[in-house]
């Protein structure tokens, strides 16, 4: 019994010693962590990203100190972006570097930036964590998606544009603009034969023509409230910019000049005079990459009045909008004004949900009402487009995701028909 009584004070003393030792270690660990400086961080990322396209971001962490550092990091990526592989926990050995990666997908165009990196640094014994923020800014620009442009370029080089739906109408020897003389080929028409050249060299020589070059293509870009409509990850406005970018490249490759004017947006209209050369793609990108639709109602007539004062030469004017049947009364005068001198193509974006409603089975009364209302809406829409067609306006009614290829095909058809 006496042994137990003596042992209890000794055990209590040992617990105190252990407690003070742990407290001392914790305080020492806290003191060392207090003087711990943040790691040196360098970020590598492209200064221009594409909307809706995943891109890789690299972070290099450098530890210039004499002790291993364990950190949790979360990079301050641009707002309105999705991300993968964050946060991360890394171990950086003394006087060594560690490189890590994560991915982001921008969901909004315009100017933005990476601001810095959030760090949670572990103390040497791992008892404490210290929050640190390392500020290192990387300004970037988020452009419309130029992935389709890259794909078009690669397929055009390999003569495989049909894989993305672009129709290449093969036509031998006919066109609007003389290109060159060549040997006669079976199937050439008699009117292609150059009889004077054939007589000189005593064999049949044919004239070869190409589609007329040096024409003007002008985008009249609607920035009104309806362009906010969104069927998937992109708004109708974003789909329009992607289509405009692809057609810009195609038209410039054809030798045409491309320009644009915005209307019904916030601030004054943006105007880019028609210009040629593939370098103009960058000019178009930098003109529209930060544009966003406004909450204003689209004013087609005012836009037409402004545009005709800027153009001296006949052009193909492409108007892209999200039309309703009630737009008919205002739209017809605007189109007639443009048609006095120019050829007008009106592209209307159709909500994807409309076809989805028609594809769904009708099981209940509500389904039947929705089905009938959708049919009625599409009928009125079709009647509005037919009215435009009777006034000589070319129109294209398509879902947003199909707009780029549909617009390129219609442009090529117009070129080959000689209508412009």
Nearest to 264 by CA among 236, 292, 229: 292
Taking each helix axis from N to C end, the angle separating 236-253 and 280-288, rounded to the nearest 10 degrees, works out to 160
Question: Is 338 exposed, middle or buried (CB count within 10 Å of its CB: 0-12, 13-18, 19+)?
Answer: buried
DSSP of 15-31: HHHHHHHHHHHHHHHHH
> Taking a C-beta distance cutoff of 8 angstroms, is the pair 250, 408 a contact?
yes
> Taking a C-beta distance cutoff of 8 angstroms, is the pair 57, 43 a contact?
yes
CA angle 176, 181, 185 (to 5 degrees): 95
CA 105 to chain centroid: 11
Nearest to 412 by CA among 148, 145, 175: 175
* CA dist 249 → 242, 327, 348, 410 (Å): 11, 31, 21, 15
Nearest to 136 by CA among 58, 64, 226, 81: 58
DSSP of 34-67: HTPPPPEEEEE--SEEETT--EEEEEEEEE-SSS
Q: What tens-digit pLDDT sequence spans the chain (420 residues)?
A: 555 555 567 777 777 777 777 777 777 767 767 667 778 899 999 998 988 889 999 999 998 888 888 899 999 999 999 999 999 999 999 889 999 999 999 988 999 999 999 998 888 777 788 888 999 999 999 988 876 666 655 455 444 455 445 555 444 434 455 556 777 776 666 677 777 777 888 788 777 655 556 789 999 999 998 888 887 778 889 989 988 988 898 888 888 999 999 999 888 999 999 999 888 888 998 999 999 999 998 899 999 999 999 988 899 999 988 887 667 778 888 989 999 999 999 998 887 776 667 777 888 788 787 778 777 777 777 777 777 777 778 888 888 888 888 888 888 888 887 777
Hey, how many other C-beta atoms are within 10 angstroms of the C-beta on 36? 17
Hey, how many other C-beta atoms are within 10 angstroms of the C-beta on 94? 11
CA 280 to chain centroid: 17
């Amino acid at each position: 019994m006496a042994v137990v009584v003596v042992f209890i004070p000794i055990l209590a003393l040992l617990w105190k010693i252990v407690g003070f030792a742990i407290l001392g270690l914790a305080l020492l660990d806290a003191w060392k962590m207090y003087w711990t400086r943040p790691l040196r961080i360098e970020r590598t990322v492209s200064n221009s990203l594409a909307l809706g396209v995943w891109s890789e971001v690299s972070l290099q962490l450098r530890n210039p100190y004499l002790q291993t550092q364990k950190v949790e990091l979360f990079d301050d990526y641009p707002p309105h972006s999705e991300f993968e592989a964050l946060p991360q926990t890394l171990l950086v050995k003394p006087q060594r570097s560690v490189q890590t990666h994560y991915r982001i997908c921008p969901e909004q165009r315009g100017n933005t930036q990476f601001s810095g990196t959030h760090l949670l640094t572990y103390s040497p014994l791992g008892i404490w964590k210290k929050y640190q923020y390392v500020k290192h800014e990387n300004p970037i620009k988020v452009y419309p998606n130029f992935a389709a442009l890259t794909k078009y370029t690669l397929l055009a080089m390999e003569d495989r544009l049909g894989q993305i739906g672009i129709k290449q109408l093969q036509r031998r020897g006919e066109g609007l603009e003389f290109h060159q003389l060549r040997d006669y080929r079976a199937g050439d028409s008699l009117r292609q034969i150059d009889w004077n050249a054939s007589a000189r060299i005593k064999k049949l020589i044919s004239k070869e023509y190409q589609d007329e070059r040096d024409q003007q293509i002008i985008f009249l870009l609607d920035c009104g409230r309806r362009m906010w409509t969104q069927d998937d990850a992109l708004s109708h406005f974003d789909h329009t910019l992607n289509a405009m970018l692809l057609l810009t490249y195609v038209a410039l490759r054809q030798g045409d000049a491309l320009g644009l004017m915005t209307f019904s947006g916030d601030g004054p209209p943006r105007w880019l005079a028609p210009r040629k050369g593939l370098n103009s793609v960058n000019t178009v990108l930098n003109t529209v990459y930060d544009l966003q639709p406004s909450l204003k109602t689209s004013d087609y007539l005012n836009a037409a009045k402004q545009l005709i004062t800027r153009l001296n030469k006949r052009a193909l004017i492409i108007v892209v909008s999200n039309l309703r049947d009630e737009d008919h009364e205002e739209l017809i005068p605007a189109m007639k004004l443009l048609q006095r001198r120019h050829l007008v193509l009106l592209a209307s974006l159709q909500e994807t949900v409309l076809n989805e409603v028609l594809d769904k089975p009708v099981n209940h009364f509500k389904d039947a009402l929705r089905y009938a209302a959708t049919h009625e809406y599409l009928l009125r829409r079709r009647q509005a487009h037919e009215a435009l067609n009777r006034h000589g306006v070319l129109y294209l009614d398509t879902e947003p995701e199909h707009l780029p290829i549909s617009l390129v095909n219609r442009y090529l058809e117009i070129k080959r028909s000689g209508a412009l």
